[in-house]
Amino acid sequence: MDLPFGGGCACGAIRYACAGAPRYMGNCHCTACQQATGSAYFPAVMVKESEFSLLRGEPSWFERPSDKGHPMRRGFCPACGSPLFLLNGANAAVRVLYAGSLDDPSWYRPSREIYVASAQPWDLLHPDLPHDEAMPGR
As a whole number of Å, the end-to-end CA separation of the chain is 32
* Cβ-based neighbours of 120, under 8 Å, separated by 6 or more: 29, 34, 40
Mean pLDDT of the chain: 95
Quote the pLDDT of residue 135: 79
Task: State yes or no: pLDDT of 1 exceeds 90.
Answer: no
Q: What is the CATH number of domain 5-118?
A: 2.170.150.70
Instruction: Name the more confident of 51 and 70.
Output: 51
pLDDT tens string 4-13: 999 999 999 9
Quote the pLDDT of residue 2: 86
Q: Give the pLDDT mean for 52-73.
A: 94
Task: State yes or no: pLDDT of 138 exceeds 60.
Answer: no
C-alpha span between 22 and 29 (Å, rounded): 20
